[in-house]
Amino acid sequence: MKEYLKYNISTDPFEIDTISGLLWELDIDGLYEYDDYVEIYGDKEKLSETDVKDYLDELKEMAVINSFNLSSEVVENKNWNEEWEQNLNIIKPGEKIVIRPVYKEYNPAEGEIVINLEPKMSFGTGEHETTKLMVQMVERHIKKGDVVLDVGSGTGVLAIAAHKLGAKEAIAVDNDEWCLINGEENIEKNDCKRSVKFVLGEIKDIPESNFDVVLANINKHILLDIKEEFYDKTGDGKLTILSGLLDIDEEDILDAFTSLGFNLVEIEHMNEWISVVFQK
């Protein structure tokens, strides 16, 4: 039987939304929240205690946390995904978009736009603040006929949202094969195969450029590493919308992107998280 490791993590300070959101950046298979600690589960061959400790040390260096306690134990295999799915809710992150897990019934109100999601552990179920912020920005800035690139797409939810808000074409790209499988399922369930395409790879693997809107909900370090590619893919006068960012990341992101030739359009905050809109 495949062995999994369960990690118990407590931090000081313990901001549950912040810590849970950041831990999804690790290669984990499940996460459970408690009043003063978090449990994460990972394949023993993919996620060692050293991996988790190194990541928590990185959060200390970033001043996200001051200290942490970490312990681990081997646990038997189980269907983490099924347990996780049972706790997902129907989410309305913006004024129009409603994100509905496919196994839950929902009767939309007039003017609501429903995205049917088959959530399979890909980041982007609508639960996290950064996804909510991105959906709000997509609602605010996508125009009919836009061509959109969604980088680090996860479930494909933002590309699908752009399509349902009038975008002519959307390309979703992610380097995780599981996201590709899940994203293509979600494209199918939302009847947008003709206008939304999922690509396995990175932004450098997308040959197209001159996009009207480029979206990315990924962490600061990756955004900074590929900032020039965002500039290359964005059309003149067009928008790049970013999240996956803590408020302490704001200065670094503004400095990096404005130095390339982007102009700041707006910043939106939700708890400790932010979304930033730039114009080329």
Higher pLDDT: 69 or 177? It is 69
Residues 190 and 255 in one domain: yes
Task: Please tell me the distance from the alpha carbon of residue 144 to that of residue 78, in angstroms, as a whole number.
Answer: 45
> What is residue 204's DSSP assignment?
G
**Is residue 78 one of the residues assigned to a domain?**
yes
By C-alpha distance, which of 257, 261, 259 is closest to 249?
A: 257
Which CATH number characterizes residue 33's domain?
3.30.70
By C-alpha distance, which of 181, 172, 170, 164 is closest to 122?
A: 181
Residues 204 and 124 in one domain: yes
Residues 78 and 98 in one domain: no
Residues 19 and 147 in one domain: no
**What integer pLDDT is reported at residue 122 of this predicted model?**
47
pLDDT mean over 247-258: 95
Residues 189 and 131 in one domain: yes
pLDDT, tens digit, 9 for 90 and up, residues 106-162: 899 999 999 998 876 545 566 788 899 999 999 999 999 999 999 999 889 999 999
- Of 83, 110, 132, the position where a domain reaches its end is 83
**What integer pLDDT is reported at residue 162 of this predicted model?**
97
Residues 109 and 229 in one domain: yes
**Is residue 64 one of the residues assigned to a domain?**
yes
Task: Please tell me the distance from the alpha carbon of residue 234 to that of residue 62, in angstroms, as a whole number.
Answer: 29
Length reported for the chain = 280
Task: Please tell me the distance from the alpha carbon of residue 230 to that of residue 247, in angstroms, as a whole number.
Answer: 21
Residues 245 and 185 in one domain: yes
Residues 161 and 134 in one domain: yes
Q: Give how many domains the chain has, as a whole number.
A: 2
By C-alpha distance, which of 117, 131, 97, 103 is closest to 24?
A: 131
Arithmetic mean of pLDDT over the chain: 89
| Structural domain boundaries enclosing 172 | 93-279
Task: Please tell me the distance from the alpha carbon of residue 205 to that of residue 173, in angstroms, as a whole number.
Answer: 9
Lowest mean pLDDT across 165-169, 218-222, 253-257: 218-222
**Is residue 273 one of the residues assigned to a domain?**
yes
pLDDT, tens digit, 9 for 90 and up, residues 196-237: 999 999 999 999 999 999 999 998 889 999 999 999 999 999
Q: Is the pLDDT of residue 29 over 80?
A: no
pLDDT, tens digit, 9 for 90 and up, residues 201-212: 999 999 999 999
Residues 268 and 156 in one domain: yes
Residues 165 and 29 in one domain: no
**What integer pLDDT is reported at residue 271 of this predicted model?**
86
Which CATH number characterizes residue 122's domain?
3.40.50.150
**Is residue 88 one of the residues assigned to a domain?**
no
The residue type of 62 is M
Task: Please tell me the distance from the alpha carbon of residue 232 to that of residue 262, in angstroms, as a whole number.
Answer: 11
Residues 76 and 207 in one domain: no
**What integer pLDDT is reported at residue 81 of this predicted model?**
56
Higher pLDDT: 65 or 177? It is 65
**What integer pLDDT is reported at residue 83 of this predicted model?**
56
pLDDT, tens digit, 9 for 90 and up, residues 39-90: 888 887 788 899 999 999 999 998 889 999 999 988 766 555 555 556 678 8
**What integer pLDDT is reported at residue 124 of this predicted model?**
56
Distances (CA, A) of 130 to 146, 187, 218, 259: 22, 21, 9, 24
| pTM score, whole prediction | 0.75
- Of 83, 112, 135, the position where a domain reaches its end is 83
**Is residue 255 one of the residues assigned to a domain?**
yes
- Please tell me the number of Cα atoms within 13 Å of 201 on its side-chain side: 10
- Of 33, 53, 83, the position where a domain reaches its end is 83
